[in-house]
Each structure stands twice: as structure tokens, then as C-alpha cells.
């Protein structure tokens, strides 16, 4: 399929009700309101396609950008590609999901994530924390820099409540990811989660809430799933 053909199908699959819901979450025009299950159907049909993913992302259409992350060839993405995607992510569904999915499975992902979390730009910093979480969720512990993750966890514990809105959200998610996927740091993540308590994030008037990190880790524990990695961050 060509980029134009994919965009035409996305337009046909969009719905006004989905658009209204997504706009409450921060989506901006242009977008069609395509449901995730429909994007997954297209993903299966298209498969992995590096060039098409770049073209779709460049359209600036949110549905197309999200799909781009699903079909991207993560290993082929260059450092410039990832930088361009991160800087072009204009709302959190792209910056905190699409970009981290791809970056976390790329050789440049860790380096870029560590750079992004230092940014004064809220969207870029939140993309960095989400990428570090995705790396923790998918990479075997022996390939992770555990001392580095420990320091980052300590940093979150000290600074989370002074961060911009979406950075607070992704930092909270980072505590959950470390506690759930890195067994050696679960205890420290639990202590950090208890210390930070409830994290307040403006969810844009939606019914969504910020999970309590400690409670979330306990649920993972109850399933005996601590340290069980995901094959991919994409969903």
C-alpha cells in the first residue's frame, strides 16, 4: 500500500465519536478518529515497512503517526529519524507510545532517552521517560545498566512532584516499569512508590486516573509476574 492509499483507508475508518473522545485526551487536528483495533488490522495487512512508516509519520495525521510506529522497522530507524519523530510528537499518544515503542527497540534508544529526559520541553522529556520504561520492559536484565536505572529511580523519587504534568505521569510509569520488570530493583521501586504516594496529573477532564505505583507493583507480584519481560512494547 502507498501512503496515500493508507491515509484514504484511515479516513474511511474514522469516526466522529472517536474523534470527540480523543480530543478530550489532547488529540489535535488533523486526525480521523480511527480505533486502535482498526489500526491493528492495517498493521497486520501492511507488516513491517520502514519507508512507509516514515511517510505516514510525516503526514502529521495522528492516526497515521500512530500506525507508523506499529509498522516501523525499529532496527532500521536512524538516530535522525528518532529525533525527528520525538520532536514531531505533538501529543502524548504519539510521544509516550509511538516514539518509545520504536526507540526502545533501537540501538540509539537508550542514549536518546537519557538526552530527552534532560529537555525543558515537556513532551520530549515525557517521551524519554516512557522510552526508558519500554526498555526496562523488553530488554533482558543482563543487557540493562542496573546501576543507571537505580540512580534514575532515586531521581524520580526526589523530583517527580516538581515536574511538568505529563513528565509526572511518565515518571510514575517509570517507577511501575522498574518495579515490575527489573526484579533486582523491585524493592527499591516499592519504597520509591510509597514515598511519592499519589501523583497528581491533569488528565484533561477525562475519567482516566493515574495509577498508584505501589498498588500496581503489588498486582504484578500477586500474579507472580515480576521480571517477566514483554516481547515488544508495541500494542
- 226: helix, coil or strand? coil
C-alpha cell at 50: 520502514
If you ran DSSP here, which 8-state letter would residue 212 be given? Answer: P
**Which pLDDT band holds residue 207 (cuts at 50, 70, 90)?**
confident
All three cell numbers of 137, joined, read: 520492559
At 112-123, the pLDDT tens digits run 999 999 999 999
Cell of 225: 509476574
Least confident of 24-33, 36-45, 203-212: 203-212
Reply yes or no on whether the pLDDT at 205 is more than 80.
no
Greatest mean pLDDT among 5-14, 23-32, 198-207 lies in: 5-14
Q: How many Cβ atoms sit within 10 Å of the Cβ of residue 92?
A: 21
SS3 for 200?
coil
Q: Whole-model pTM?
A: 0.97
Which tens digits make up the pLDDT trace of 37-68?
999 999 999 999 999 999 999 999 999 999 99
pLDDT digits (tens, 9 = 90+) for 60-90: 999 999 999 999 999 999 999 999 999 999 9
Neighbours of 3 (CB within 10 A): 18
Mean pLDDT of 171-189: 98
Where are the chain's structural domains? 1-72, 79-235
140-177 burial string, b = 16+ CB within 10 Å, else e? eeeebeeeebbebbeebbeebeebeebbbbbbbbbbbb
pLDDT, mean of residues 191-211: 93
Q: What is the CA 122 to chain-centroid distance, rounded?
A: 14
Give pLDDT tens digits for 101-153: 999 999 999 999 999 999 999 999 999 999 999 999 999 999 999 999 999 99
- Single out the residue of 221, 160, 144, 164 nearest to residue 190, CA to CA: 221
% of the chain exceeding 90 in pLDDT: 95
| Mean pLDDT of the chain, nearest integer | 97
Amino acid at each position: 500500500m502507498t501512503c496515500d492509499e493508507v491515509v484514504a483507508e484511515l479516513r474511511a475508518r474514522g469516526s466522529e465519536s472517536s474523534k470527540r473522545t480523543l480530543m478530550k485526551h489532547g488529540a489535535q487536528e488533523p486526525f480521523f478518529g480511527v480505533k486502535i483495533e482498526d489500526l491493528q488490522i492495517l498493521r497486520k495487512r501492511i507488516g513491517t515497512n520502514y519507508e512507509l512508516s516514515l511517510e505516514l509519520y510525516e503526514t502529521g495525521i495522528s492516526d497515521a503517526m500512530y500506525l507508523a510506529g506499529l509498522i516501523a522497522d525499529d532496527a532500521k530507524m536512524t538516530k535522525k529519524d528518532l529525533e525527528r519523530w520525538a520532536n514531531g510528537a505533538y501529543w502524548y499518544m504519539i510521544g509516550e507510545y509511538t516514539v518509545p515503542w520504536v526507540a526502545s527497540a533501537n540501538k540509539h534508544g537508550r542514549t536518546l532517552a537519557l538526552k530527552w529526559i534532560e529537555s525543558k520541553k515537556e513532551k520530549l522529556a515525557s517521551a524519554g521517560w516512557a522510552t526508558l520504561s519500554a526498555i526496562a520492559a523488553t530488554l533482558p536484565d543482563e543487557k540493562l545498566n542496573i546501576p543507571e536505572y537505580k540512580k534514575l529511580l532515586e531521581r524520580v523519587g526526589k523530583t517527580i512532584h516538581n515536574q511538568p504534568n505529563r513528565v509526572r505521569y511518565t515518571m510514575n510509569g517509570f517507577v511501575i516499569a522498574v518495579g515490575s520488570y527489573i526484579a533486582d530493583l523491585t524493592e527499591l521501586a516499592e519504597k520509591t512508590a510509597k514515598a511519592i504516594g499519589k501523583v497528581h496529573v491533569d488528565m484533561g477532564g477525562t475519567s482516566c486516573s493515574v495509577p498508584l505505583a505501589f498498588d500496581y507493583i503489588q498486582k504484578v507480584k500477586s500474579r507472580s509476574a515480576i521480571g517477566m519481560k514483554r516481547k515488544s512494547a508495541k500494542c
